[in-house]
């Protein structure tokens, strides 16, 4: 019993010392996994996915659009982080963009800046401004270290209270499995759903800032999500989903966009 309590105290101490602050929102989060380890896991998973998928050629207009929009948002992210004294948080990033041929309506950015857009999403984005809202959102997950936060929670629970350093060293296969389950497939319902919805809202806000700084009109996010809602009438109820409902998301975006557009997008227009 004493040994178990000691481990709990040590784990809690590590958790408190590993708190990070999410940009813009200022929320405190737990990041226990070294960034270098997380990006190594991410890069391995990314390379495997791209290798086993049909990607668009570099001369394909859709691939060029994904790379173009991604590069502009990357530049906005780097500017934002520099302006806010957080450039060091990007030291493990190795940006890359790929478009995968699939009917899947999705896009993602792994820790470290590895971005994939599935062609099934492009019929909903329809223009670069809407694609920028999506890529800004996905890249924001990486900037806000949401992957690390989910991994940290998962490690503390799934590895049964083991010392973190011991778990990461001795349970490499388990750690890789957990990364794939949390980041690619989806996490345990009881553990992560409320937090995931919070992370989604943070990524919406931060992502729109990045898109606006890159010169894309944030207002295009609303018609995009309206198209998504119309195309997915049999959606999962919000309380069982890791994402806010389309209606909730649209309402929240409508409250955020005026200030973001005034502060970031209009400023970019004035500079032109």
- With a CB cutoff of 8 Å and minimum separation 6, the contacts of 246 are 225, 226, 228, 229, 232, 235
CA distance 148 to 156: 12
The predicted model gives 22-46 an average pLDDT of 81
Closest CA to 62 of 140, 115, 126: 126
Q: Which pLDDT band, with edges at 50, 70 and 90, does 187 fall under?
A: very low
Q: What pLDDT shows up at residue 11?
A: 46
Poorest-pLDDT segment among 99-113, 147-161, 173-187, 229-243? 173-187
- With a CB cutoff of 8 Å and minimum separation 6, the contacts of 217 are 129, 261, 265
Poorest-pLDDT segment among 17-26, 52-61, 216-225? 17-26
Q: Which pLDDT band, with edges at 50, 70 and 90, does 21 fall under?
A: confident
Q: What is the pTM of this model?
A: 0.82
Residue 30 has pLDDT above 80, yes or no: no
The predicted model gives 121-137 an average pLDDT of 96
- Better-scored residue on pLDDT, 202 or 152: 202
């Amino acid at each position: 019993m004493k040994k178990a309590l000691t481990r709990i105290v040590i784990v809690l101490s590590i958790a408190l010392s590993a708190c990070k602050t999410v940009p813009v929102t200022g929320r405190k989060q737990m990041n226990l996994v070294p960034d270098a380890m997380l990006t190594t896991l991410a890069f391995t998973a990314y390379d495997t996915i791209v290798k086993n998928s049909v990607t668009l050629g570099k001369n394909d207009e859709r691939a060029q659009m994904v790379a173009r929009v991604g590069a502009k948002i990357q530049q906005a992210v780097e500017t934002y982080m520099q302006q806010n004294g957080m450039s060091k948080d990007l030291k493990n990033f190795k940006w890359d963009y790929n478009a995968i041929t699939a009917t899947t309506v999705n896009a993602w950015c792994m820790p470290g800046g590895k971005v994939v857009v599935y062609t099934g999403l492009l019929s909903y984005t329809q223009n670069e401004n809407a694609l920028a809202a999506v890529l800004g959102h996905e890249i924001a997950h990486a900037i806000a270290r949401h992957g690390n936060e989910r991994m940290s929670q998962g490690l503390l629970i799934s590895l049964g209270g083991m010392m973190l350093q011991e778990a990461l060293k001795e349970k490499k296969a388990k750690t890789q499995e957990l990364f794939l389950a949390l980041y690619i497939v989806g996490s345990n319902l009881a553990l992560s759903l409320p937090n995931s919805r919070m992370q989604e809202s943070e990524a919406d806000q931060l992502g729109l800032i990045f898109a606006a700084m890159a010169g894309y009109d944030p207002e295009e996010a609303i018609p995009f999500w309206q198209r998504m809602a119309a195309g997915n009438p049999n959606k999962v109820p919000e309380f069982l989903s890791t994402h806010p409902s389309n209606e909730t998301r649209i309402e929240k975006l409508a409250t955020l966009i005026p200030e973001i557009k005034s502060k970031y997008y209009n400023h970019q227009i004035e500079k032109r």
